[in-house]
Amino acid sequence: MVKKRRAAIVCFTPTPTTIVCLFIDFLESLANILKMEDSSVSCAEHLGQYFSERDNSSNVILSSNVPDLCKTEKCCLGVDEAGRGPVLGPMVYGIAYCPLDKSDDLKKLGCADSKVLTEEKREELFGKLCEGKDYVGWAVEVISPNSICNSMLRRQKYSLNQVSHDSAIGLIKKAVEDGVNIAEVFVDTVGPADKYQEKLSKIFPEFKITVASKADATYPCVSAASICAKVARDRALQVWKFEDGIENPAEGWGSGYPNDPVSKKFLQKNIDHVFGFPQMVRMSWSTADKILQESAAPVEWEEEEDDTSGNTPSISSYFSATKSKKRATHPYFRERCLKSTVSI
């Protein structure tokens, strides 16, 4: 049987030289992260400067310094994301935390759901959150399109919900490791809120966990996390470097959402017939996959027909005890009247 597929990814076996180069790139990326002092992030411009100097294909976690007050006073911590739905760019998860009695201060700053704020207002509020370093802390994880695609397209499925949950859990654990005295956690839900809350409560039984829909519009600490995540994603996209030889389009690439005509135009214009899309694109999205099917070069390979006879043994059968027929004794032993006395 011959099956057809569209080209998008070329696999190769790395040579020792390639492995060394990749390891050097990893060390350089790690050095860049370590060189960036959290205290230097006082505005969105500093985030943009950092993103312009790093490799877009890898994930990164950025965080503020933990205020001393957050190590001694009981704190609330909010979790939210930005960029879950777009076909272009990273998904960013963010947390923000402060002492319980400072929660109203976040509200007074103007913290609200980042989706209802203008870009200018979000950046202004992010600057205020950085200035409030005596009582507010934050962290974001920028999850690259590469990482999202590799997770969702691997043989053993790793859904976007799982990616989201793991990022949120990882950021909460990081806050704990950094010494934040967490008492309550508020999370904007991904999937069924009750199941997500039960999952988090089992992992963090010492915290009061609240998972709710539209938590970013209800709890100030979640609103702050939403702002940090959105500003980080926006800045990462604004200074995106294409390693694929593509120039930033004058008209931009739109919102990145699948139904945006500007984003669709960018996808259609920047597809390589063999290698697929640039690293900014999440090829696991149906919008990108459809364009691949229509525009990329077809690939053919032979594949064995599926066994539909029903005689294929299950994997578990190889590990279960079975009664096998007694093997005939080899002529060498029969001719010499030798018999086995011990079975191994």
Distance, CA of 96 to CA of 106 (rounded, Å)? 10
> Judging by DSSP bridges, how do beta strands 91-99 and 137-143 pair with one another?
antiparallel
| Max CA pair span of the chain | 97
User: Cβ atoms within 10 A of the Cβ of 85, count?
Assistant: 13
Q: Do the annotations mark residue 188 as ligand-binding?
A: yes
Residue 251 φ/ψ, nearest 5 degrees: -85, 0
Residue type, 68: D
Backbone torsions φ then ψ of 104, nearest 5 degrees: -65, -25
Nearest to 142 by CA among 208, 222, 61: 61
Q: How far apart are CA 329 and CA 338, in angstroms?
A: 9
Instruction: Report the alpha-carbon distance of residue 292 to residue 268 in Å, rounded.
Output: 9
Phi, psi dihedral angles at 278 (to 5 degrees)? -70, 170
Tokens of 280: 């900014």
Distance CA 214, CA 339 (A): 77
Q: Is 25 annotated as a binding residue?
A: no
- 80 known member of a binding site: yes
* Residue stretches of the annotated binding site: 80-81, 188
Positions at the binding site for a divalent metal cation: 80-81, 188
